[in-house]
Amino acid sequence: MSFKTGDIAKQENEFIWKGEKNNDKDYYKLDISKYLLEDTKDYYYRKAQGWSMNLNCPEYLRVADIHLKKEEERAVYYL
């Protein structure tokens, strides 16, 4: 497999491809998904800290369940 030259750069809250374009889906697996998963993990880590400080256990579980279902819906929609 040959990759085009370039790099992914984060500008403010979005990722921008800098370089030659390629339609190869392996870019997503090798480059983009890593950043998306890291940002998602960090986002929910911060959210969970806030929830744990401001909600009791049943409320926390309800809110976490709602967000998990939303993520599942997005995954089904985009995949």
The answer to whether the pTM exceeds 0.85 is: no
In the chain the first and final C-alpha atoms are separated, in Å, by 23
Runs of H (alpha helix) within 1-79: 26-27, 33-54, 57-78
Whether 17 is in a domain gets the answer: yes
Residue 48 has pLDDT above 60, yes or no: yes
pLDDT at 16: 77
Average pLDDT value over all residues in the chain = 82
Q: Which residue has the higher pLDDT, 49 or 23?
A: 49
Whether 50 is in a domain gets the answer: yes
Instruction: Look up the domain containing 72 and give its range.
Output: 6-78
Name the domain count of the chain: 1
Whether 40 is in a domain gets the answer: yes
SS3 category, 51: helix
* Encoded tokens for 40: 């998602």
10 contacts 35 by C-beta, under 8 angstroms: yes
Whether 1 is in a domain gets the answer: no
Compute the average pLDDT of residues 4-12. 71
Whether 68 is in a domain gets the answer: yes
pLDDT at 2: 43
Cα 67 to Cα 22, 44, 51, 54, 62: the distances in Å are 33, 9, 12, 16, 9
Q: Which residue has the higher pLDDT, 65 or 35?
A: 65
Whether 72 is in a domain gets the answer: yes
Whether 28 is in a domain gets the answer: yes
